[in-house]
Structures are given as C-alpha cells and as structure tokens.
Structure 1
Amino acid sequence: MNVSNVEQKRVRLKQFLKILSEDPSLLNQERQKDSRSLAEFLMYTGYTPRNEPVNMAELVSLLLKRVGHEARSEDMMEHVMNGGTVDEFMNISK
C-alpha cells in the first residue's frame, strides 16, 4: 500500500470516528450502564490476538456475527459515513 492510500485510510477513519462521537444513538446514558469491557468483548467473540494489537474492525465484525448480523464492520462504517446511525444499522442489517 502506498503512502497516499495509507493517508486516505487514516483520514477516512478519523472522519468515521468523529461522526461516531456525534451519533445520537450512542449517547443514550441508560445503555452505558450495560457497557462491557474490551476483555469481555474478546472473550464473547473468541477473538484472541497473539502478541499483536487488537484489530478493532475484526472485533466489530465478530461481534456483529455473534449477535446474528450478516454485515461486517466495513458495512457499518459505510452506513455511518453515509449519514446513518449505529442504531439504524443494527436494525436494518439483521
């Protein structure tokens, strides 16, 4: 992958994370009481990185699969980047 592709991916990820931080469906305080730790998500999915950083895209894809969704993290990212919310995505991708 050349430098411009890496930079484009970095910029796109930064935009995605900014949009996620403003997603009203993620601001629900009641849900935050039920939040889980990264270790719990790793155990739930069976994802075990071996001496490497956790690939969050892979973890999200495994979580989606575990809760019965056919979509992957890339699908969720595309939905959110196109103006959708995480709640909408979770409801339409079943």
Structure 2
Amino acid sequence: MHRMTQDPQHDAPQPDEQPDEQDGEPEPQTPERVRTGSDRIDEVIRAVEELEERPIEEHVGVFESAQVQLRRALDQPGDDGQVGGAEHPDDHLGHA
C-alpha cells in the first residue's frame, strides 16, 4: 500500500523559484515629487499630493486654496521670474 506523505523538500521553494510574495510584481514605489522650479508652485502641488493623508472634509478647501495660489502665481511674476506675466491665449487671436 502506498502512503501519501508530504515531502518537505518538494514543498520548499527551489533556489531559482521566487516565493509567492514576489509574484513578479515589484513593490509600489513612492512617486518622485514634482518639481517645477518655482517654490510657490511646488508648495501648491505638495499640498494637493498630501490630500490622501487628510480628511475628505478638508479637500475642497485645499483645492480652492490651490486654485487661488496658482492664479496669483500666473498673474504676478515671482522672485525667480519664471512664473507670471503670461498673456491670455485670446490676446493673440485678434479679439478686441
């Protein structure tokens, strides 16, 4: 009569096999922070990126603040001179 037994050597992962924890999918990495070259803009982006860590009730306020700050950055040149002074696209279309 043939007995069925577990073979511990057969059940263990072989040296060339990957354990089940690594199903060929790399662990998700933290995305690199966006850098625009403007500290003001980078701070707004950082606040929006951190929304996942904040209560949902605070999201609207963060988005409203981000919109105001981004509008100001476009309307007024910053210390670095890279942001602001942009003309409205309609200015080039011959609109009066």
Tell me which interval the TM-score lies in, with the shorter structure as reference length: under 0.3
Structure whose alpha-carbon radius of gyration is higher: 2
TM-score of the aligned structures, taking structure 2 as reference length: 0.23
Greater helix share, structure number:
1
TM-score of the aligned structures, taking structure 1 as reference length: 0.24
Q: Which has the higher contact order (CA 8 A, sep 6+)?
A: 1
